[in-house]
Every structure is written in C-alpha cells, then in structure tokens.
Structure 1
Amino acid sequence: MTTLTPTSPTAHQLGWFARAELWLDSKGKGAWIAAMVLGFILFWPVGLALLAYMLWSKRMFSKSCRQMKTQLGPMRSVTQPSGNSAFDAYKADTLRRLEEEQGKFEAFLERLRDAKDKAEFDQFMDERAKKSEERATEA
C-alpha cells in the first residue's frame, strides 16, 4: 500500500494546504504543535485556527499523524487501477457513460442557447418590422 508523501508527484497536484498538511503529518505531532505555537506568536487567529483544526481533525488525540494517514488509506486518482479487474471495468464503464451524458447535456444546452438566441432575434426583427410599418403609414 502506497501513501502520499510531500515529495510524491501526486502531492504536487494538491493545493498548498493539503501539501502543508502532508508535510506536517510526515514530521509528526510535534510539528503540528510547533506550527500552532508559531501561529499564535505571529498572528493569534492563525494559531487559533490551527488549534481548532487539530482538535476538529482529532490530530491532538491520535497516537500519530502518520498512523492516521495510513489508516485513511492512500488517496487514489480516478485513473489509477484499484487492482480489482471487475471494479476497474465497472469504473471505466461508468466514467465513459458519464462522459457521454455530459456531452449530450452540453449539446442540449447549446441547442437551448441557440433556440433562445433565435427567439430573441426573431422578436427583434418583428419589432423592427412593426416600427418600419408604422413609419410608412405615418408618412
């Protein structure tokens, strides 16, 4: 079983917060506490936010941050195989179906926009024709 580390290629695809969290987790609970204390020293709301996050995510009470990450399992990309061929086939079929539905929905939205544009243009042309008829009858 592989886990993400702060230097793994997929870790760089994560946001800065997720990378910082992975880095602190790799250093252990002491790094979290040091970051919290540093946050209180630099700007107290940052320290308070880190404390709240550590309490909410139960990082303060777990045996080890690294252990918590391995319990959650590796973060997998949608394209990575799971190792189960039946599930991978099901996943591929479902993703293909979703892509087809997305394409159909986008085509529907395009037809809807075209119909709205045509209706607005027809209304403009009708109003223009009425104005020209009124001008012709007044003259």
Structure 2
Amino acid sequence: MTHTATTVPAQDGPLGWLRRAEAWLDDKGKGAWIAAMVLGFVFVWPVGLALLAYMIWSKRMFSCKSRRAHACGIRHESFRAARAAARPSGNSAFDAYKAETLRRLEEEQDQFEAFLERLRAAKDKAEFDQFMDERSKRAAEERATDETAGA
C-alpha cells in the first residue's frame, strides 16, 4: 500500500508546527495518534491529556477519516453482510434455499477441516516414524561400536 504525503504549506504563524504535526499524524493514521498520546502521558501527562481531548473533540478517536479508511469500510461491509445473511428475506422459497446453501457450506467446511486434521495427523505420524527409525539406527550403531570396542 502506498501512501502519499500530505502537503501542508509552510506556516509562518506560531502554530505552524502544530498544523504540520497534525498533518503528519493524520498521514500516518490512528495508530500514530494513539502512540503520540501514550508518549505524551508517559513523559508529560498534560500533553497526553491534551492529545486525548483533541482526539475525542476532533472525532479522530472514533472515526475512519484517515487514509486507511478502506479498512473500516471493509469491516463494516462484512458485518452488514453477516447481519443480512442472518435475517429472513420474507420470501419462504429464498429463505429455504439460503438455509440449505448455508447448511451445505457448513458441512463442506467441516469436511475440509476434518481433511486438514487427517493431513496433520499423517504428517505428525510420518515425522514420528522417521524420528523412531533414526533413533533405532543410532542405537544399533552404538551397540555395534560398543561390541567392537569391547571385543
């Protein structure tokens, strides 16, 4: 994912650096705001408190207004789709079809998970058998070495 830097014209006023810092944090996303707030609390607690108040007041804490807003939209869409799948449509034929399709998909998912479990078990057994074979070969070699040394 590429990010384009937010262009902020140079500010001559005494608060120009604040605007540049705000634009920089906005460009980095909500995580940068939270990190700045935590660091503010750690080093100078009034700064952290001021950042928290500003984030709440400007709605940066609870909204998806960053450049990474598509992630919030994706989450919203998946929740909306899950809610839509759970509620009835009002058409009994479609609801029966949907219920049968969901049941079939859940059954296929269960079968696939069982298949993956069998694969894992087979792999584990093969690795264990290989370990036991190597162990028995080492034990046989040690017995042969002991017999030749003792003779």
Select the structure with the greater relative contact order (CA < 8 A; seq sep ≥ 6): 1
Structure of larger gyration radius: 2
